[in-house]
């Protein structure tokens, strides 16, 4: 019997899960609609049934553990706490609920910490002890690894770099404060920067033809690739703000590498080039040349399941 | 025979050292002038001789280890590297030099990391696994403890929170950049804030009678205690800037406590009160009420030797 783990990514809309070997190979995968189950008990039953079905499709395997990535997950307590985008209110002891049905070790963490675990076990950080993964999507998440361990801190919520304030009194943030790193350095921060530049700059731009509600980091990156002046300026400003947040993080934990992951990171060299230059300008002299700025080593399509699976494999070590 | 360690604090002017029991009791202490020994070999010989003399004054003890606090110390390599305030240039393998003369385990770190170690072994953080010590003197140092271990990072230089930028384009910093936390939150930052406020405010102030070169955080704290309006405003602004740096650090490592240590921290409640209020306003909602802001639990006069000794005791564990 070959050991596999289940990697489960719980999102506001979908739950994606797969059976993953120790090598990182996903041997079976499925999904269900999170929104179909407003009652947590029904959700757990459906999820457990679906995982058991996946296992039955394969022979010669044994489930050794379960890893879960979920918003507002508390690793220490095995709970999902006050997650704004999920129907289950309050503090949900989901690890305990699942363990009642499947008796294997279960660990849970948030998506950025799962991404860091995935990078460490299956991705570009296999040989690294100190690194940071930034997930640049609608929000800006961060998973920090120190001495080979994901940083949780006293509360379990450490690593909220997206909500360190980099512009006092700056852009309104969903967390209720202003000027958070997330409002400048995420994919949605890039969109906000374009809107601001469209007000400031007089240059022609194809971005003027897109309704603001339909602007995406992908469309902006495509425009930048065609030398659209507003898109290029927005990329440069976003790179500068990302570098600012990265440089301050380097002064904190002195990582060997910083991985950029998610929608905005797909922009590629038009983003990474200036980020590297700005980071090198902005860090303290003793940190110059000490930190690599890298794209994630995990394919975006598999990242959520692999990150959750990596968490499980790491617990089994 | 009772084990003791030697705690050595190497400063630009003085070197202070003592023999310290496991309980934190300093049983013998001495000092020498660092500036008397521009040659590192002569310095090491003099230091080793002085430590041996201290040991000879006591009976029934055995030296079990040596801990050293020094500027620009590299824990990983046992070196002092490019320290601007020391005569020894380049990379000095001081741990190796001392070990040739005294064959015991030797560890070296910088003063803020030694302060964190002292707080953990002998001070107010004995039961804590995650905390940060800020040393608020001429500079602003930080020693970060995560999962019970001082944070060194990939380079050994992690924990440079004094040089995270909190005001882009702000005050000139000794590190060659602008707007570093140190230029606002240290004792010398407080002095700079008073000078700025003396230009902005019209109120009378006893601080107008002191030449700027002789202004100290002690004099400003004394004036604040007498309700001097400029001193009070300067304390409040400094508290706000300190809180800003602390709030961002909380978002990074989610410590159980933040200890303030050094000259500026001596100001007491006139500083701690507003710092606590501002931190509570500034942190993300999930961190509200999770972090204690505390004065150091170690007497300032013994802190340097005890911090270095704590480093040694920790290595022996």
In angstroms, the CA A176 to CA B136 distance is 30
Q: How much is the average pLDDT of B71-76?
A: 91
In angstroms, the CA A226 to CA B294 distance is 55
Q: What is the DSSP string of A5-45?
A: EEEEEE-SSEEEEEEE-TTS-EEEEEEEEGGG--SHHHHHH
B118 closest CA partner among B10, B259, B242: B259
Q: A118-146 burial string, b = 16+ CB within 10 Å, else e?
A: bbbbbbbbeebebbbbbbbbbbbbbbbbb
Confidence band for A299, pLDDT divided at 50, 70 and 90: confident
The verdict on a CB contact (< 8 Å) between B158 and A248 is: no
Q: Which domains does chain B have, with CATH numbers?
A: 2-118+301-316 (3.30.420.40), 128-296 (3.30.420.40)
Q: What is the largest CA-CA distance in chain A?
A: 66
User: CB-based contact (8 Å) between A61 and chain B?
Assistant: no
Confidence band for A175, pLDDT divided at 50, 70 and 90: confident
Give the residue from B139, B167, B248 with the most A CB atoms within 10 Å of its CB, the best one to mutate.
B248
Instruction: State ipTM.
Output: 0.90
Coil, strand, or helix at residue B9?
A: strand
Whole-angstrom CA distances from B133 to A145, B123, B286, B310 are 21, 11, 22, 14
A184 closest CA partner among A241, A265, A263, A112: A241
Q: What is the DSSP string of A281-303?
A: HHS-GGGTT--EEEE-SS-HHHH
Residue B317 confidence (pLDDT) above 90: no
In angstroms, the CA B227 to CA B205 distance is 10
Q: Percent of chain A scored above 90 by pLDDT?
A: 91
In angstroms, the CA B110 to CA B72 distance is 6
Q: How many CB atoms lie within 10 A of CB A33?
A: 10
Confidence band for B164, pLDDT divided at 50, 70 and 90: very high
Angle subtended by helix axes A229-253 and A187-200, to nearest 10: 130
User: CB-based contact (8 Å) between B144 and chain A?
Assistant: yes
Confidence band for B83, pLDDT divided at 50, 70 and 90: confident
User: CB-based contact (8 Å) between B179 and chain A?
Assistant: no
User: CB-based contact (8 Å) between B147 and chain A?
Assistant: yes
Confidence band for B301, pLDDT divided at 50, 70 and 90: confident
Burial zone of B169 (CB within 10 Å; 0-12 exposed, 13-18 middle, 19+ buried): exposed
- Contact A191/A234 with Cβ under 8 angstroms? no
Strand pairing category for B14-20 and B2-10:
antiparallel
In angstroms, the CA B66 to CA A202 distance is 66
Interval A53-90: pLDDT, tens: 999 999 999 999 999 999 889 999 999 998 888 999 89
Interval A125-152: pLDDT, tens: 999 999 999 999 989 999 999 999 999 9
The verdict on a CB contact (< 8 Å) between B164 and A251 is: yes
């Amino acid at each position: 019997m070959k050991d596999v783990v289940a990697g489960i990514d719980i999102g506001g809309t979908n739950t994606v899960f797969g059976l993953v070997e120790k090598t990182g190979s996903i041997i079976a995968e499925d999904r269900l609609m999170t929104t179909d189950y407003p009652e947590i008990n029904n959700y757990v039953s459906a999820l457990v049934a679906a995982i058991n079905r996946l296992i039955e499709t394969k022979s010669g395997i044994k489930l050794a553990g379960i890893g879960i990535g979920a918003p507002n997950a508390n690793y220490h307590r095995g709970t999902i706490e006050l997650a704004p985008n999920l129907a289950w209110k309050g503090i949900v002891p989901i690890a305990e609920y699942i363990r009642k049905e499947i008796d294997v070790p279960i660990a849970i963490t948030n998506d950025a910490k799962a991404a860091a675990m995935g990078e460490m076990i299956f991705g570009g950080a296999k040989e690294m002890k100190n690194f940071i993964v930034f997930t640049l999507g609608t929000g800006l998440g961060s998973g920090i690894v120190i001495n080979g361990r994901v940083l949780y801190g006293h509360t379990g919520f450490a690593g909220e770099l997206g909500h360190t304030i980099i512009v006092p009194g700056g852009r309104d943030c969903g967390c209720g404060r202003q000027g958070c790193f997330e409002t400048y350095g995420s994919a949605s921060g890039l969109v906000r920067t374009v809107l601001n530049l469209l007000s400031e700059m007089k240059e022609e731009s194809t971005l003027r033809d897109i309704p603001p509600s339909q602007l995406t980091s992908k469309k902006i990156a495509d425009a930048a690739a065609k030398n659209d002046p507003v898109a290029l300026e927005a990329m440069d400003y976003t790179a500068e703000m990302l570098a600012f947040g990265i440089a301050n993080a380097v002064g904190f934990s002195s990582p060997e590498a910083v991985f950029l992951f998610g929608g905005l990171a797909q922009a590629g060299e038009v983003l990474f080039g200036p980020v590297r230059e700005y980071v090198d300008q902005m860090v303290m002299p003793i940190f110059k040349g000490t930190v690599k700025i890298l794209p994630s080593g995990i394919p975006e399509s598999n990242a959520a399941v692999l990150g959750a699976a990596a968490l499980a494999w790491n617990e089994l070590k």
